[in-house]
A = this chain, B = another copy of it.
Amino acid sequence: MNLEQQIEQLGQLAKAASRKLATATTPTKNRALTLAATRLREQQETLLTANFQDVELGKQNGLSSAMLDRLTLTPSRIDAMAKGLEIIAELPDPVGETLEMWRRPNGLEIGQVRVPLGVVGIIYESRPNVTADAAGLCLKSGNATILKGGSEAFRTNGAIVDALTAAVVGAGLPEASIQLVRSTDRQSVAFLLQQDRYVDVIIPRGGEELIRAVTQRSAIPVIQHFSGICHTFVDATADLEKAANICFNAKVQRPWVCNAMENLLVHQAVAQSFLSAFVPTLEKAGVEVRGCERTRKIAPQLKTANEEDWRTEYLDLILAVKVVDSLDEAIAFINTNGSGLADAIVSEDYSNVRRFLQEIDSATVYANASTRFTDGYEFGFGAEVGISTNRLHARGPMGLRELTTYKYIIQGNGQVRE
């Protein structure tokens, strides 16, 4: 069997497994998850040995120390993976939820019921905890998973999936519920992306380059997570203390994540009072602030922010600041330059808040809170599958529900169409 046939076989097996998983009971799925957690802990030595080999090879191949750190397993990281699975076991099962049910005049009863997507393909980069996490979330939501990890974690991912499949089989579920593409050939991804007969959705987890490459080549729908160019607009009536707290949090707490603020817009009426105090606060925290001309009149020490700055996701302690004349200008600026992920207004003006919330076309729009809350856990979903920048199917933070679709169940007693 050549590589293409091997990948196709993974698809076939996954589809068959997904039929069983779709009707598996919640206790069965939970047992598989808790068994998997136990198994990961029991197999600690095996996992560490496999991981050691990957790390040694990574060193030889000149991986950066950051990449090596992300790749490295430790007993506590293995325990965290196991705990993650136990937490997923405790989450409510989304499958079977009746979304709506109604009766038609002809007596037909139509129910819209949540069902799994089917087969989910996950393509991800080095961090090996994604293996257990993604497989666990898919299992809980009744989906079969085909995992394709980075080649630098080849042995580690193999050992993790061995532990997971043993648990799945132990719980009486099909072995092919969780499968790994066991090839470091780059072609394997291309073949996987053509299995639209068997794979229902692809979720790439990694940088923008990976996502673009996957989207371009995929015959299967892709749930994308592109960049986050997030804004905060400090309105004329903002409580400036709240504004400073919110903006500081949005920029500084974790600058390398997608929901961190990249552009700060300030209404001209409060620009002087707000920025003269807040820019030094940012600078003290190590933030490089770049300003428009009007910002630089208030803080002349700043670098100039140019057109490119407004469209750059820094993922770093850098912030671009612009003074605007009005709410209208702020809304137009955000809808033009933003990435549609998370944007906030700080304002005490009721009508302005209302307009901002309605008119900003982003997955998550905030009034008087930090954009950093765009996160499945912070939303109360109990888990995070990712944060979608798609408009179709799932938008914003994705929990278990977003790994499902629905079907209609129609019950009658002999109805025919006139």
Contacts and interface: CB of A to CB of B under 8 A. Distances in A.
Given A363-B408, A410-B366, A416-B372, A104 B395 contact: no
A369 B201 CA distance: 31
Looking at A115, A361, A392, the one whose CB has the most chain B CB atoms below 10 A away is A392
B104 A22 contact: no
B407 A363 contact: yes
Given A373-B415, A391-B118, A407 B364 contact: yes
Contact of A361 (B118, B248, B250, B396): B118
A370 interface: yes
Interface in A165-205: 200-201
Nearest to A241: B414
A23 B335 CA distance: 14
A392 B201 contact: yes
Given A102-B380, A221-B221, A393-B392, A245 B368 contact: no
A396 B407 contact: yes
Given A104-B378, A118-B391, A335-B19, A407 B362 contact: yes
Contacts of A221: 221, 390, 392
A365 interface: yes
A362 B19 CA distance: 12
A297 B352 CA distance: 77
Interface string A215-244: 010010100000000000000000100100
A409 B410 CA distance: 34
A362 B408 CA distance: 8
Nearest to A414: B242
Counting chain A residues whose Cβ lies within 8 A of the other chain, the interface size class is 35 or more
A91 interface: no
A388 B257 CA distance: 35
Given A391-B405, A408-B363, A417 B22 contact: no
Given A118-B361, A361-B19, A367-B410, A405 B380 contact: no
B408 A379 contact: yes
A239 B414 CA distance: 9
A285 interface: no
Nearest to A118: B391
B365 A407 contact: yes
A372 B219 CA distance: 30
A253 interface: yes
B23 A245 contact: no
A417 B370 contact: yes
Nearest to A413: B368
A411 interface: yes
Nearest to A380: B104
A248 B414 CA distance: 12
Interface string A386-406: 000011110111000000011
A370 B416 contact: yes
A90 B162 CA distance: 58
Given A117-B392, A366-B412, A369-B414, 11 more contacts: A239-B414, A250-B416, A364-B407, A365-B409, A369-B411, A372-B416, A372-B417, A373-B410, A392-B393, A395-B406, A395-B407
